[in-house]
Structure 1
Amino acid sequence: MRTTLGDLLADISVEKERILSLDGGEEQQVAAADLLRKSMFFIHKLLGVEVLQAALGSVDENDPEAVLKVAAARISIFAGLFYQIPEDAASPMKVVEEAAAISNGDAPQMFAKFSDTKVKDRVIRAKFRAHVWAAYLKASGMPAMQAERRVEDAFGYPWETIRKGWTRDVGAALDEVYRSFALNLAKVTGAAGRPNWEQAEIAHQRTIDTHATNDMLDWEIALRLDGQRFIRALNANAKRR
């Protein structure tokens, strides 16, 4: 994947024409969805992390009502992409309406539980995030063993377990196109950053020694949060057994 804005825009334009020449069906749908993901990366490069973070704002993860309201507000931003496209039952704005209704006390409809099957989707996706983080850190120049240790620390499992057992779990549950795109994007964004890992390691050790989160780097906080989400998903799944 090329990463300069000019190259990305040129690639998007060429791919758009190719997609429009297709006769519809699954091939066109898959290609269009992939192009939309690439276009999102173009927006990411154009606006930058700070602007995107400001647009999303923050939320208290311990306040379920606030989480739903903020989620609805965030999805509504991206729902504008589909302006003038006829809505159906799975349209982004339907998700916004569902989240808003639940946060205001209404019973879920779209998000209603379909059966008593013990679904481990959240656990699987959280496991996949461990692989995404490893790809990102290694692509950014962090030595492989150091990157794997950071993932171990965040997710609470040995790297061999993550590499072998979790790879099987993720491969069986998540779409290959989605996995490939997410991993490639992690590698591209990691390579684009390339921080000074010697300084980062010093800051990391200082954080461990002092338990001070204000010394942590942005990526380090995000990695820790993903690890915490995995533990919560794992515990929630265990309670349903």
Structure 2
Amino acid sequence: MDVSTRIAVLASAGNHPDLPGPELLPTRLMRACAQVLPVTAAGISYFSGFHHRVPLGASDAQAVLAERLQFTVGEGPCLAAHFQDRAVLATADVMAQRWPAFHAELVMKTADRAILSLPIDNEDFGGNAAVDLYFAEPQPAITGGVLQDIQAATDVVGSLLAAHSGLVDGPSEQPVWLDTVAAQARSQVWIAMGLINIALRLGPVDSLAVLRSYAYSHDATVDEIAGIIAGGELGAEVLAD
């Protein structure tokens, strides 16, 4: 059984009674990738038309945290893969040099030491989705055969997500896999940005920058701080201090 078939079979809802819905297909796919490929974890994110990054699914809690750390710092291999529209291999040395803040957070809070980020090459996504593959080794040995397997994996991930987006079934405004807890949690960031915009009279870019700075200085993720602001437990004006 080839890599694509193994991932498709492992990601079927029947193999994941705890993840039955179509909106949880990204999580099932990332778990399958982590099982089939020589990686410790996997995650996938989607980029909206405003370049807002939305997590779709992850193989485990460590991959969830790694994505949130990268989003909080605002730099890293997944963002680079998206904007450059090409695969980015971030070894420990590369991360330390190109994204020192993210590298420091990653090493401190996870067991990940290297990341391979690949944009999903599928016309239905238009380059707006990317997969992060995590490695425990600082300098992972990715041979030609392994790279072929990884490419096959990302291809089948893109194909299955496109085929099960729900958009072909009716006039849905967004794919079904954007209706997840992770995606809804990230939407709190956009709400918090709006509140910061009103309180501090800042544009979207500056509002997100202020939110990131506050989260980073308080050893928290943007998602955590945004949830507190959106929930009314922290006034947006506090971020001006």
TM superposition score normalised by structure 1? 0.25
Relative to its length, the structure with more helix (as a share) is: 1
Relative to its length, the structure with more strand (as a share) is: 2
